[in-house]
Structure 1
Amino acid sequence: MKSPVTRSRGIAIATAAAFAVALIPVGAATAAPQLGCENRTNNTVAKMLECVDADGAMEHLEALQAIADANGGNRAAGLPGYEASVDYVVDTLEAAGWNVSIDMFDYDFIGASVLEQLTPLPAATYETGAFSGSGDGDVTADVVPVDINLTPPRASTSGCEAADFAGFPAGAIALIQRGSCNFGDKAFFAEQAGAVGVIIFNQGNTPDREGLIVADASSRTDGTPVTHGIPVVGASFAQGEALSQAGSTAHVFVPAPDPRPQRNVIAELPGKNDDNVVMAGAHLDSVQAGPGINDNGSGSASLLEIAQQMSKVKPENTVRLAWWGAEEDGLLGSAAYVAGLSQAEKDRIALYLNFDMVGSPNYIFMAYDGDESGFEAPVTVPEGSVQIEDLFESYYTSVGEPYDDAEFSGRSDYEAFILNGIPAGGLFTGAEVVKTADQQAIWGGVVDESYDQCYHAVCDTIDNINEHALDVNVDAIALAVLAYSYSTESVNGVVGKSIPGGLTLPAPAGPEGTGAGGGYDPGHAS
């Protein structure tokens, strides 16, 4: 358990016995209709949490579901469903009185890819997709496995070193197994060895690493960007096993990129101190396979609900909310946004809060591990991130919800912010990692099933949301955004203003230590 500490002016974290004077029990806001929320100024924690709830967020999720239904079943970047999602977010924010702007960024849309096994017979056509950073191409060639391991437990470093390709026949398609290094490394070394195409198949070492893997191969493990001149597609473990047979040949096709500039949505509520900006964001796009209602309609809808309920607040610090595009293609929208800021503009950002999947059906509650108590971060964690983690953990403690650490890995839209020294934090309820018996005993749900069995799938619909998890988290997000809108002193030392009505939270009870970690399969990890 973390030692009790007292944090900033306006945000007091007291002993574990002291409970929040301004909080109401989770679920109380949905017990009866709250009158006047649309007209009053929710400038205290009590008022804000009385009005913010899962019902409001669910209304936005229903709208996003309807958009997907009307646009081919998805809201993916480069397709009409995403454009309609952006329009919905803009209309909702403008109606609530926020200052809304559009941030454009370059984006190359990649259409449907093909993976066919031609020999040995019988021939088969497999579900696939192009990795981010893939080149285009249409190739038919022999399939050559590269240092793969099909024997349990299937530990694999396939394709992680140039030496793995010793003797590789130029002109063949490289069959590479997931594991140990970035996908960008695997495709890079394959191309250097003369491969005309790359098939990366899932590792098959755990239940969550059996299905089709399509992710980001646009960077090396050391962070170096890389663009490939050959097609790079994904496959499941079973498909990879079939393709590894002697005498395998395959046809791989990735269409040429189609430039389709995309939109981030940025909304501001001006504060008295415009040089101290509190940011919160969520990605708005889905994968092409489905409507993306948990991933990440849940985070997007939560911020929309908070924006509506907070619109009449006069904050001390400027509040800036963001809905990012093309996250599923490698965090492209957020990365482009931060890259486009001057150093002076970056310095104005006090902190960034990220909300990517906060209503998983078989959830566990997790906060990003800013203090690295559970997981060593692969990147330097900016000072102030620990205090953000503490705030979320104190809120969970105040409402009696156990929680765990989510690895602070830089695997969602906060990456660009922490790489530029901006303190960050956020919440997450898990994706394709399987829930353990220990976790089931703590959070309920179904053991040996993933936190979200519809992760990146057609079934990520409105029925894929756990409303209790969403209700807890939308309150936690609202509290954090409102609290920091008055004072970020605990995070960056900028003295603000005490929160009207006060805010006292207990010290964090401490993470459960179940090894939850990232709880999802990051786009550009091994």
Structure 2
Amino acid sequence: MRRNALWLTCAVAAAMVLPATPAAAIDQVNTQKLRQAVTVSGILGHERVFQRIANQNDGTRASGTSGYKASVDYVRRTLAQAGYDVRLQKFDFNFFQELAPAQLSELSPTPTDYQTETFEYSGNGDVSGALVATTDIQVPPGAEPSSSTSGCEPGDFPAAGSEPAVALIQRGTCTFEQKAANAAAAGYDAAIIFNEGQPGRTDLPGGTLGNPQSIPVVGLSYADGAALYEQLAAGAVTVRVATSTASEVRPTWNVIADSRGGDPNKVVVVGAHLDSVLEGPGINDNGSGSATILETAVQINKLGLKPQQKLRFAFWGAEEAGLLGSTHYVDSLSDQQLSTIMANLNFDMLGSPNYVRFVYDGDGSSGTAGPQPGSGQIEQIFTNYFAGQGLASAPTDFDGRSDYGPFIEAGIPAGGLFSGAEGIKTAQEAAIYGGTAGEPYDACYHQACDSIQAPNNNLSDQALAELGDAAAHAIWTLGKTSTGFYADGSRMAASQAVSLDQFDYRGGQLVR
């Protein structure tokens, strides 16, 4: 993601003039009471439950696992006890897990072990058999990438025969999924897909097969694949392909909780994905976002606050498999139901140890087009809040990597916060936000160490405090506003810009 700081240093942030941004169409709302109630201690209480769930379920809370189902049950129970109308939205998805590394060996005429990788959604199996090349492999490779059409047509595969056989396929032209499906349809028991050979296409070509496949499918570098192909010209070659996978359709769930008050024709969807990756418990990605909106929901009802808009807190499943939960939710809505959604707020990773206060760029100020009318006003809620606290923030692009994506595609204004993932903190960012330049925002991103299990703690309490307060402020501002967005998207005139050395920002309001 591209990142640009809004202020050069924290020290001068409070003295800077706010940039011209979309008109302040959102009412000024006093959010102090809620922000004081949503504490780091409360957020961490939910995080400790997520960690305990992971510990009891093979170290993960990924969709399709018992750890995710336990997370769903905890969130559902907590929201119901807090007084929300809660429902579970079930859907099926393609689950995949590699249980052990793949193995690929030449058995004859020259016994050799090869470096290989399992393709995502590969079938499970251990196959020893004759290697058979498709009819259109290019060795040496063609001049351009995707010159090879190997395996793209059913007729590319010679008859497999009655004995076990392994197809040798070259990357190029069509998808890995199409090549693997054609191999299985032609009667092959396993498939090897080797890289195409042009610059940038020489290493292991690992990737996804899109959907669960019935046969083992592994990758091979161009050099190794070409060597096997040339051996076939001299005589028969026998190989062994072994994969250990779980690749199947499994159920998972979104948790959706509606406030009992608020206008049902003006709904603010507040979302965070609840699933982790298989590799770890997902305490920052995205336990931090889930715990923050869960605690905010609990405190709204505990304080007896009454929203003017209906607040819908959504905990998405299978985000890590491709935004599947939020996509399923949006796709399940009729045009009339979509028309009632006023905005989407998305909170994905709010506690990165080497954090930056990133705000999704709704007005296009970082050089990309704003996603939808209204998104700029959402961005302004966050940037004005941070500025009022004397805190810098920086825009981050809507790059499609999180659950705002399906809402933007449906024409719904969106915004939210992000504290950084695998990207590297710049020297300028370190000067503004602290932390360590040249290091990832979250060094444990998508790893087992994304945990609060001793001795590791992959959360910044300071990030949770600052971004948690901003999240609560935006949620309640949108939940309470009576004005909504200005349809014309007009921009604040320069004369309307305010200098923060003239104003104090208290209780969610600019006060002279």
Give the TM interval when normalised to the shorter protein.
0.7 to 0.9
Alignment of 1:466 onto 2:460:
yes
SS in 2 for 1:408: coil
Aligned to 2:349, which of 336, 339, 357? 357
* CA positional deviation for 1:108: 3.2
Alignment of 1:504 onto 2:509:
yes
Q: Which runs of 5+ in 1 are unaligned?
A: 12-21, 23-43, 148-156, 177-183, 206-210, 219-226, 495-500, 507-526
* Residue identity matched to 2:476: L
Alignment of 1:3 onto 2:24:
no
- Which digits, 9 at most, give the CA deviation of each residue in 1:69-107, with x for residues without a partner? 011100111111001101111111112111111111112
Q: Residues of 1 paired with 2:35 and 2:45: CA distance?
A: 17
C-alpha contact 2:50 2:71 (8 A) present in aligned 1: yes
C-alpha contact 1:212 1:234 (8 A) present in aligned 2: no
* Residue identity matched to 2:35: L
* Residue identity matched to 1:468: Q
Q: Residues of 2 paired with 1:191 and 1:345: CA distance?
A: 40
Instruction: Show the counterpart of 1:442.
Output: 432
* CA positional deviation for 1:362: 1.3
Alpha-carbon spacing, 1:318–1:188, altered in 2? closer, same or farther (3 Å)? same
Instruction: Show the counterpart of 1:56.
Output: 42
Q: Residues of 2 paired with 1:439 and 1:271: CA distance?
A: 41
- Which digits, 9 at most, give the CA deviation of each residue in 1:10-59, with x for residues without a partner? 23xxxxxxxxxx8xxxxxxxxxxxxxxxxxxxxx4111111112111111
* Residue identity matched to 1:465: L
SS in 2 for 1:318: strand
Alpha-carbon spacing, 1:228–1:104, altered in 2? closer, same or farther (3 Å)? closer
Instruction: Show the counterpart of 1:83.
Output: 69
Instruction: Show the counterpart of 1:317.
Output: 309
Q: Residues of 1 paired with 2:508 and 2:388: CA distance?
A: 11
Alpha-carbon spacing, 1:213–1:118, altered in 2? closer, same or farther (3 Å)? closer
* Residue identity matched to 2:64: G
Instruction: Show the counterpart of 1:136.
Output: 123
* CA positional deviation for 1:341: 0.8
Instruction: Show the counterpart of 1:172.
Output: 168
Alpha-carbon spacing, 1:434–1:189, altered in 2? closer, same or farther (3 Å)? farther
Instruction: Show the counterpart of 1:274.
Output: 264
Alpha-carbon spacing, 1:276–1:445, altered in 2? closer, same or farther (3 Å)? same
Instruction: Show the counterpart of 2:176.
Output: 187
* Residue identity matched to 1:258: E
Q: Residues of 2 paired with 1:354 and 1:473: CA distance?
A: 12
Q: Residues of 1 paired with 2:362 and 2:194: CA distance?
A: 35
C-alpha contact 1:200 1:232 (8 A) present in aligned 2: no
Q: Residues of 2 paired with 1:130 and 1:365: CA distance?
A: 36
Alpha-carbon spacing, 1:49–1:331, altered in 2? closer, same or farther (3 Å)? same
Q: Residues of 2 paired with 1:295 and 1:309: CA distance?
A: 23
* CA positional deviation for 1:411: 1.8
Which region of structure 1 is more displaced relative to structure 2, 281-290 or 134-143? 134-143
SS in 2 for 1:276: strand
SS in 2 for 1:59: helix
C-alpha contact 1:101 1:267 (8 A) present in aligned 2: yes
* Residue identity matched to 1:435: K
* Residue identity matched to 2:27: G
Q: Residues of 1 paired with 2:216 and 2:405: CA distance?
A: 24
Alpha-carbon spacing, 1:242–1:425, altered in 2? closer, same or farther (3 Å)? farther
Identity of aligned residues (%): 37
Number of residue-to-residue matches in the alignment: 430
SS in 2 for 1:281: strand
* CA positional deviation for 1:259: 3.2
C-alpha contact 2:270 2:312 (8 A) present in aligned 1: yes
Alpha-carbon spacing, 1:269–1:254, altered in 2? closer, same or farther (3 Å)? same
* Residue identity matched to 1:290: G
* CA positional deviation for 1:440: 2.0
Which one has a bigger Cα radius of gyration? 2
Instruction: Show the counterpart of 2:386.
Output: 396
Aligned to 2:474, which of 480, 488, 491? 480
* CA positional deviation for 1:447: 2.2
C-alpha contact 2:407 2:413 (8 A) present in aligned 1: yes
Q: Residues of 1 paired with 2:295 and 2:144: CA distance?
A: 45
Instruction: Show the counterpart of 1:29.
Output: none
Calculate the TM-score normalised by the size of structure 1.
0.71
SS in 2 for 1:280: strand
Q: Residues of 2 paired with 1:136 and 1:233: CA distance?
A: 7
Aligned to 2:335, which of 322, 331, 343? 343
SS in 2 for 1:446: coil
Q: Residues of 2 paired with 1:118 and 1:262: CA distance?
A: 37
* CA positional deviation for 1:332: 1.0
Alpha-carbon spacing, 1:452–1:297, altered in 2? closer, same or farther (3 Å)? same
* Residue identity matched to 1:10: D
Alpha-carbon spacing, 1:502–1:440, altered in 2? closer, same or farther (3 Å)? closer
* CA positional deviation for 1:505: 4.9
C-alpha contact 1:423 1:491 (8 A) present in aligned 2: no
* CA positional deviation for 1:245: 8.2
* CA positional deviation for 1:268: 0.8
* CA positional deviation for 1:124: 6.3
* CA positional deviation for 1:474: 0.8
* CA positional deviation for 1:480: 0.6
SS in 1 for 2:311: strand
Q: What root-mean-square deviation, in Å, do the aligned CA atoms of Structure 1 and Structure 2 show?
A: 4.0
- Which digits, 9 at most, give the CA deviation of each residue in 1:211-239, with x for residues without a partner? 99987664xxxxxxxx575879898xxx9
